[in-house]
Structure 1
Amino acid sequence: MKLRKIGFLLFILILAVSMGACSIETGVDTGTKAAAGDENKNLSIEAIGEGYPLTIKDFVGYETVLDKKPERTAVLSGTSLNIWYDLGGKSICTSNISKNIKLLAEHKDEIINIPSVGATYSIDMEKVIEYKPDLVIAQEGTQGEQAKKLRDMGFKVIVSRIKSYDDVMAAYRVFGKILNSEEAAEKRISEIENKRQELVSKLPQQKTSVIILYLTSKSLAVKLDNSIAGDVSNILGLKNIASDLPPDTIGSETTPLDIEYIVEKNPDYILVTSMISSNETAKKTMEEQFAASPAWKGVRAVSEGRVIYLPQEYFLFNSGPYYGEAIEYVARSIYPEVYGEVKDWYEK
């Protein structure tokens, strides 16, 4: 009886310690994780609360409490910057703005002249700190390490991941709440959603397959469904023949190129995305690769001219407010008889 009592007390003690550890892990404090198991999940961004104080649960599972509307925000990536300015926000500094980002026309000059703190993938931490931001919006992956360091130093940091259509919608809603611009956010969301619905409603019944190539100055790989082009393909009901292939690494949006596999699956279209100096250079480089390798002759999409080069302003960087245009570009490229020719619509 005595042993049972001792065993029971030990069980209660262990349970209490476990619950205490769990409560520490899930505490809602700047820089704490939202849940112990969230580390490997792709979370959507969320604003918890009606008005201030707001708790922002970001894409990597961290929760940040904002007591009031931030006055000195540092938005460190282009897509987030575009959405932030679309809702009336300002940024005290940012990373280098690529010429291939499609910036909002009404804010383009202002955004280009925001002080730079270095390249997106290598921001200057000291410069960021000098600006004394009361909120930092960093980019998942490329700025993850810097985000953690800033958070550890006491800065309020939100990690943003804006790749898919759903990511764009979530970012608009959260940024709208932070900026007290919820009406403007819902208006933009409605515009993008109406465009998506309009395009999807006209889709032909035929099944169309694609492979999405990813060209850089050093390599050629294949994009998966968690890429921008993969997401747009899913929206348009296109079958990405690489969907079931394993990623390079956990969470990666690419898989190694396997021409034999592409020949075997024989997709109807090849979509080419790129991270290279320009859209024109990407097309020239890819055409040279097609011509240099006899293996590509076995892919009918190549021999029959069904290769579509996707503009970097839509598919290298998420186009944010222009996501509807990204969908339309692919729709027009594959089904011109339904949507009209790309050349009659797309402005470089």
Structure 2
Amino acid sequence: MKHYRIILFPLILIMMMSIVTGCTKTTGVGGLSNTKSVEKAGDNELAISVEGTSYPLTVKDFLKLETVIEKKPENAAVLSGTPLNIWYDLGGKSICTSDVSNNVKLIPEYEDEIKSLPSIGPVYSIDMESVISHQPDLIIAQVGTQSTQAKKFRDMGFDVITTHIRGYDDVISTYRAFGKILENEKLAESKIDELERKKEEIVAKLPNEKKSVVILYITSKTIAVKLDNSIAGDVANILKLDNIASDLPADTIGSETTPLDIEYIVEKDPDYVLVTSMIGSNELAKKLIEEEFANNPAWKGVTAIQKGRVAHLPQEYFLYNAGPYYDEAIEYMAEIIYPEIYKGVTQ
């Protein structure tokens, strides 16, 4: 193991973290609150890229940190679900991983193997000693929830890649990078081609009319609104939907949410209200948002709610990036908005 040089200042690490730490204000119903806006930010660069045609390879991750991998890893530790799914889809293996949620859509042929991997704790609080005990020759961590631990691993001399898989383009760049690392580029390109083909088939059916949406995001304590740099926002953009929150400022730099402003939503009066969640289950999320709509009269000013044009987006597609199944997430939202064109997907 060797010590790698950090290319950018540590401030970038903090700026790009998706954990929201701002002040909050309540919505006035049920103790739900929202994060106060600080600044809007975005990043159109690749989530991950690899330089070189054979080993040694230089990997540049989302944080623009470079890692030189001398040879194909034999004991990789992939510490979160979405990169783990893509890694396995390209023939990779992991020696351990964080707790895998039941709402992560795993590749069927590897589901049992992935669920039986040694656990290193919750994705947001991994046990570093446990990871080290498995003696990994490559650690693949997740931006935000694992950024602090990733830096510590790097400082210890481990080869570390920090992934950020939020949208479709992130999925594509991760497939391409992992394909090189696993020496399976042809398979990676075939997976990318299939995703592209399916996405284009869905987009080709879109009508000329343009619909508008607001994408609500609920947790057990908060309601916010998703921006374009979220999974749901990215899918809406692919489907050429008008996300009424597109131009609003983010909670913090790099955040994918903006504070809830019901008056703004009433003013814009979107055609559909889409609901994403970080609740224990999809069913509980539905119950909480229905209670919010029933208890707060301000929501009655939104025509979509009056007419029942409210749809819940399942966590396996819109909380956790579906990775290999991103086309299914696109088609799921497409059927919600245009059921006469896309039928049977959400059943």
TM-score, normalized by the shorter chain, greater than 0.5: yes
Aligned-CA RMSD value: 1.5
CA distance in 1 between partners of 2:238 and 2:88 (Å) = 26
Question: When the two structures are superposed, what TM-score results if normalisation uses the length of structure 2?
Answer: 0.89
Corresponding residue of 1:70: 73
- Matched AA of 1:33: I
Corresponding residue of 2:303: 300
CA distance in 2 between partners of 1:282 and 1:52 (Å) = 47
Q: Which runs of 5+ in 2 are unaligned?
A: 17-42
Distance of aligned partners of 1:282 and 1:36 in 2 relative to their CA distance in 1, 3 Å threshold: closer
Q: 2:132 pairs with 120, 129, 133, which one?
A: 129
Distance of aligned partners of 1:332 and 1:57 in 2 relative to their CA distance in 1, 3 Å threshold: same
Q: How does 1:254-333 map to 2 (within 5 A)?
A: 254-333=257-336
CA offsets per residue over residues 19-53 of structure 1, 9 Å max, x none? Answer: xxxxxxxxxx8542345699367442100000111
Q: Does 1:32 align with 2:9?
A: no
Q: Alignment partner of 2:58: what SS?
A: strand
What is the CA-CA distance between 1:345 and the residue it aligns to? Answer: 2.8
What is the CA-CA distance between 1:183 and the residue it aligns to? Answer: 1.1
Q: 2:172 pairs with 162, 169, 175, which one?
A: 169
The higher radius of gyration belongs to 1
Greater relative CO, 1 or 2 (CA 8 Å, sep 6+): 2
- Matched AA of 1:247: A
Q: Does 1:99 align with 2:72?
A: no
CA distance in 2 between partners of 1:186 and 1:37 (Å) = 34
Q: How does 1:128-167 map to 2 (within 5 A)?
A: 128-167=131-170
Contact kept in structure 1, 2:90 and 2:178, CA below 8 Å: yes
Q: Alignment partner of 2:140: what SS?
A: strand
- Matched AA of 1:249: T
Corresponding residue of 1:20: none
- Matched AA of 1:220: I
What is the CA-CA distance between 1:280 and the residue it aligns to? Answer: 1.2
Q: Percent identity between the aligned chains?
A: 64
Q: Alignment partner of 1:158: what SS?
A: strand
What is the CA-CA distance between 1:281 and the residue it aligns to? Answer: 1.2
CA offsets per residue over residues 213-241 of structure 1, 9 Å max, x none? Answer: 00111111111110000000000000100
Q: 1:184 pairs with 180, 183, 187, which one?
A: 187
Question: When the two structures are superposed, what TM-score results if normalisation uses the length of structure 1?
Answer: 0.88
Name the structure with the higher helix share: 1
Runs of 4+ in 1 over 4 A off after TM superposition: 35-38
- Count of matched residue positions in the alignment of Structure 1 and Structure 2: 316
CA distance in 2 between partners of 1:100 and 1:308 (Å) = 18
